[in-house]
Amino acid sequence: MIRSRTATLLAGLAVTATALSGGAAGVLAQSPAASGGAAVVGVPATPTGYTELDQALDGTQPFKGKKVTMQVQWITKEGDDFNEAMAAFQAATGIQLGIAEVPSGQHETLVNVSLNGGAAADIIQLAQPSVVRQYGEKGLIKPIDSLLDASKLKADLPTDAYTSEDHVWGIPWKIGLKSVVWYPIKAFEAKGYKVPETWDDLVKLSDQIVADGSNPWCVGIEAGPATGWIITDWVEDVMIRTVGQEKYNEWVAGTLKFDSPEVKHAFDLVGQMLFTPDYVYGGSTAILAINQ
């Protein structure tokens, strides 16, 4: 289901015809309001150094009533939180943002169709930097550096992943930490288990938990049309830890192929945790059945 509603834009991009930003500008923070009053979540302190954003926040609302469309894959609670985060900026600037919330899977398809058909939202949120760059290199989106100062963007934000052909194609909105392994502290203490510090230690601990009659891993990746994204994140995490940033960037760029030894090794390591007998609660068939 696609849900549409009106909210606010987070940056001076509201006054431009940006086709894609890779997510709204990364300025959401608890900062002093433009008027110099108390801190307001979602309203950056001025001057920001970005001309249009400073104009929008100068207190006179010069862009009041401006409407910009945006398509995101944040739905339900995430979508609610995103809209709530924008409320203060809407009040401060009068800028309105029409948001289409599209579930992952459908979202990427609609982005591709709308961009190629010339009917895309003004701003599109995407989770894959390589896809953002590909759209830019095909001329389907406008480079962010044609709208905002490139040197300041690069100084303020980690834009390397969204940069190619001397252009910045997107602005990172958020970074998700995907490498955390949660474990029951009291149960570990009761068994005398120690938190592993290496992959080999992790394997040894998993074997020990199996020997003690339990399952070391609980894995659920069912997510409707987006099923599987969790495992892709695990593979990416293992990939960067085993081959380093340079090789990882080659993989993202497509010069290091999926059938390369490096990528196969990362998949094998993740597969070791998923498919070793008794490692996963419910067995490997439960992985696809358990909702994320």
Question: What's the pLDDT tens digit per position in 100-131?
Answer: 999 888 899 999 999 999 999 999 999 888 89
Q: Are 149 and 50 in contact (CB under 8 A)?
A: yes
Total length of the chain: 292
* pLDDT score of 26: 32
Beta-carbon contacts of 11 under 8 Å, excluding residues fewer than 6 positions away, are: 24, 25, 27, 50, 52, 53, 171
Would the CA dihedral through 196, 270, 163, 174 be positive or negative? negative
Q: Which residue has the higher pLDDT, 165 or 15?
A: 165
Q: Which residue has the higher pLDDT, 2 or 121?
A: 121
* Every domain of the chain and the residues it spans: 3-168, 185-289
Res. 202: pLDDT tops 80: yes
Q: What is the CATH number of domain 185-289?
A: 3.40.190.10
Q: Which amino acid is at 76?
A: T
Residue 25: both structure tokens together: 């500008």
pLDDT tens string 39-82: 577 788 889 999 989 999 999 999 999 998 999 998 888 889 88
pLDDT digits (tens, 9 = 90+) for 251-266: 988 899 999 999 999 9
| pTM, rounded to two decimals | 0.71
* Residue 3 confidence (pLDDT): 61
Q: Which residue type sits at 10?
A: L
Architecture of domain 3-168: 3-Layer(aba) Sandwich (3.40)
Q: What is the pLDDT of residue 72?
A: 92
Same CATH topology for 3-168 and 185-289? yes
User: pLDDT band for position 88 (50/70/90)?
Assistant: confident
pLDDT the model gives residue 32: 45
Distance (Å, whole) CA 3 – CA 55: 31
Give backbone dihedrals phi and psi of 291, rounded to 5 degrees, phi first: -65, 145
